[in-house]
Chain A
Amino acid sequence: MSKNSLNEAPEGLSSPSIDPEEVSKFSRIASEWWDPKGNFRPLHKFNPVRLTFLRETIVSHFGLDPRAIRPLEGLRLLDIGCGGGLISEPMARLGAQVTAVDASENNIKTASVHAKSQGLEIDFRAGTAEALLASDEPPFDVVLNMEVIEHVADPETYLTDCCGLVRPGGMTVVATLNKTAKALALAVVGAEYILGWLPRGTHDYQKFLKPEQITDWLDAAGLECEPAQGVSYNPLGDSWSLSGDTDINYMVVARKPA
């Protein structure tokens, strides 16, 4: 990223401009994000299932070739709350032109360093959905909102802003944890405390949302929702799979009428 794009970015959004001395630091953090046995292990275990779901959902929505190696070629995709780029990178590999936003400058620098090492072109920007909406950025074909909404202060406003970033005829996917005892048990007690998968304090149960809440907000923003898709964990196989059970983790696909 050049200095120019940083200067041109609207207030609240900045492209990463990384000091070479910082690269090694962010490489280290990146290697934590990308360590399959590290803090983000559950996201890695989870990734093949949700990525395959995203691929199939997007391909079917836009009538793309399901057998293509890069089926998302030509689509503009926004990954909000991209973290270390665990979703952005696969979407770019599948051909999408990816813009990835995260409120944490460190996450953005980390993700940029890693994506570059993978030879992937991704437009990483530190900022928020709100700031992006306020900029003159054209809306996107696909907006991904994966495991973010449970971490934001005002989820309704946040989700409404995200919907504003979807072009008419485009789609969005929202993934989060359900507000159930099971989700609490697995994600907070299990993943954070017992299994030690996630850093403690990663999740706040008060912020967990029921699928009906998400679909109400999406409806109000003028999008058409599909029934929530559950994702279940099988402790014996240590694997995740799609299921009808939305009690723990679920994804909601919504389309914006053309």
Chain B
Amino acid sequence: MPASQHTRSQILIVGGGSSGGVLAVLLSELGFEVGLVDTRDPTLPFTPDSRAFAIVRGGWRVLDAAGVGGNLVNKAEPLLSMEAHDRNGLLPPAASMFGVEDLPDGVTEGEPLGYMIEVDLLNQAIRDRVNACTAITQYAPETVTGLEVGDSGAVVTLDSGKSIIADLVIGADGVGSAIRELSGIKTLGWSYEQAVVAATVQLDWPHHGAARQWFQDEGPFAILPLTENRGNLAWFRKEKAGIATAKLSQADLEAEVNQRFGDLAGPMKVLRDPLAYPLRLRLAEKLIAPRVALVGDAVRRVNPLAGQGFNLGLKDIAALVEILVESRRAGLALSDGAQLETYQRWRRFDGVATALAMDGINRTFSNSSALLSPFKRLALTVGSTVGPLRRALAAQASADKPGLPRLVRGEPLEALIG
């Protein structure tokens, strides 16, 4: 098809979920021409999602820059501390992994580690913000059927027959990314044969803003603090057991969690239908291809033990935005290969380290073999008592390390252009 028959878009983002939406808003606000493709019909409600994300403050700053954070202030619960306990009693009780007091030097005391937000509320807030950005051209519901990269642009074809030619295509289309597949980027990964059951409960005991995790033989059980003294349960089970648990009625689930965890967490009332999410680790071998960059879950799906997946996605977004602004400022093509390489080098290691660390934590704590027990104990002890490591963990979960994208460090969007 001749170029004139394609719709033109400077940047085409494929995937209008939370990562794609935030990226579209940021790039549009910075004056880029943005197209956004999503498989979902924007007039219909999202598929319910019973999870909650712990968004660390660097990630929150990116949401703020996109104008999403403000709409969520009263809906998000400050996360003040994180605790890990060993259900088997190998450790002294209430070993706090890190809290606000462990923040690195020079960081404002009293600022929370992050905020807990229910995924449904987050998704809706991002969608509302995208819809308010009238400069974004939305193509939805649409599925990508082809990607052809040439000298003058990348042509993306959609199932409606439309085709769009873009300088740069960004794959924000999740763990099963079509853009990643069409670009020939391979992934590696494995299943944990576990599923996390996510449910929202009304707590009786005050949660004091703490995320609490208990490690037990089957896998961790966590209660994450939500507003109005509610909690989001993340119960890691063997995959089949997890899926079966998510099919229980609210009353049956309530009886089950109270019986199993009532002694740890106090009485709980289940507020909505639970859902089960299989745990799979998946890493893309590359973050870029000619005229293509990947962000978020298209790059990596990590074990959501500490809710790091979306936070990593927000860091990808901040890094890519910064690089594209730099390219435009220098007069380079947005698809400039050396600039995309810089993006890949910047973001590749973070994802791998987090994925493997999460994997390590989960494996260490979930395996009940006698051989592993001393290591299990050691890992928790080291994690909870050694000052520098605790600070490093806190810094990782927060946002003030050097070398992080400017939006993650809290610089306003306008500062990128200035």
Contacts and interface: CB of A to CB of B under 8 A. Distances in A.
Interface of A: 27, 31, 34-37, 41, 44-45, 47-48, 51-52, 55, 66-67, 69, 89-94, 114, 117-119, 238-239
Contacts of B332: 47-48, 51, 90, 93
A92 B331 CA distance: 8
Given A36-B337, A44-B337, A117 B331 contact: no
A93 B332 CA distance: 7
B340 to A, nearest CB: 8
28 contacts: A27-B151, A31-B151, A35-B337, A36-B336, A36-B337, A36-B340, A37-B337, A41-B338, A44-B336, A47-B330, A47-B332, A48-B338, A51-B331, A52-B326, A52-B330, A55-B329, A55-B330, A66-B418, A67-B418, A89-B333, A90-B330, A90-B332, A93-B331, A93-B332, A114-B151, A118-B152, A119-B152, A239-B342
Given A93-B331, A94-B331, A118-B333, A36 B151 contact: no
Contacts, number: 58
B10 to A, nearest CB: 11
Interface residues of B, number: 21
B31 interface: yes
Contacts of A89: 331, 333
Given A47-B332, A90-B332, A94-B331, A117 B152 contact: yes
Interface in B379-418: 417-418
Contacts of B216: none
Interface in B334-359: 336-342, 345
Interface of B: 31, 151-152, 326-333, 336-342, 345, 417-418
A36 B341 contact: yes
B330 A51 contact: yes
A188 B332 CA distance: 27
Nearest to A53: B330
A241 to B, nearest CB: 13
Given A36-B338, A117-B152, A67 B331 contact: no
Nearest to B326: A48
Given A67-B417, A119-B152, A52 B329 contact: yes
B338 A47 contact: yes
Nearest to A96: B331
List 5 tightest A-B contacts by C-beta distance, closest first: A90-B331, A36-B337, A51-B330, A44-B338, A117-B151
Contacts of B329: 52, 55
A170 to B, nearest CB: 19
A162 B134 CA distance: 48
B338 A69 contact: no
Nearest to A42: B338
